[in-house]
Structure 1
Amino acid sequence: MVGSAQMLYPFGGSGPPDQKSCEGNCARNFPPALAAQGDRPSGELSLVRTANGASQWAYKGELLYHGLMDKKPGDRHGDGLNQVWHTVQP
């Protein structure tokens, strides 16, 4: 997770992310930030077990997603998108 060029985004909408909030395919545009085997949370980062048994990163209890529109380190193209996506930098 840490080595990725994409920023991390919690979803600030009500309910799960949907086509409107993601501007299309959520799984493609904002895929879950999944933990690799052996990853350990620290500070305000935690791991949440998803319905399919994967571990997804969370920041202050909010599930985190990658923004695939971010191509290089420092890009924040999804920040403020539809007023529900905002970057975090844990």
Structure 2
Amino acid sequence: MTQMTVSFKALLMAAALTLPGLAMAADPAMMKDGMMVDHKGMTLYTFDKDAGGKSMCNDDCAKNWPPLMAPADAKADGKWSVIKRDDGMMQYAYDGKPLYTFMKDEKPGDMTGDKMKSVWHVVRESQK
């Protein structure tokens, strides 16, 4: 009986670790309160200097504006795509625009990076 309990707990733990990854693969982000957020509820942004489905935010920029990373084998469809960054990592993009969070957003719903330097913008429902 103890072996069965341990196995059941292991199965539950495996499912708990796997399911969020599957949800992320199917839908990397969602709309909440009129803006696009990641699965932690953190606001997603676009960067005006990105062009042609390529991220121009690397090195120190990416430390301040962490990319919405995708697993190496991520599949995307519709307006979603996966782009390869300069560092070889994969990043989600929506409608051809790479997506980022902002390091100064401390909690879900914060959008302190909106209109930062007139080049960073919250992804809003009207854009979706």
5+ long unaligned stretches in structure 1: 19-24
Partner Cα distance (1:14, 1:45) in 2: 16
Q: How many residues align?
A: 84
2:62 to 27, 30, 38: 27
- Verify: 1:44 aligned to 2:92, yes or no: no
Structure 1 residue 38: deviation in Å? 5.5
| 1:7 paired residue among 10, 24, 43 | 43
Distance 1:14 1:55, change over 3 A: closer
Structure 2: which 5+ residue stretches go unaligned? 1-27, 29-37
Identity of aligned residues (%): 35
Instruction: Name the CA shift for 1:27/1:17 in 2 (closer, same or farther; >3 Å).
Output: closer
When the two chains are superposed, the root-mean-square deviation of aligned CA atoms in Å is 2.5
Normalized against structure 1, the TM-score is what?
A: 0.72
Aligned CA distance change for structure 1 residues 48 and 39 (closer, same or farther; 3 Å): same
Report the residue type matching 1:62 in the other structure: K
Aligned letter for 1:3?
H
Which residue number in structure 1 is paired with residue 13 of structure 2? none
Cα separation, 1, equivalents of 2:119 and 2:109: 20
Higher helix share: 2
2:108 is equivalent to residue 73 of structure 1: yes
CA distance in 2, matches of 1:50, 1:80: 23
Say if 1:6 and 1:68, in contact at 8 Å, map to a contact too.
no
Decide which structure has the larger Cα Rg and report it.
2
Q: Which residue of 2 aligns with 1:60?
A: 95
TM-score of the pair, normalised by structure 2:
0.54
Question: Which whole-Å CA distance do the structure 2 matches of 1:27 and 1:48 have between them?
Answer: 15
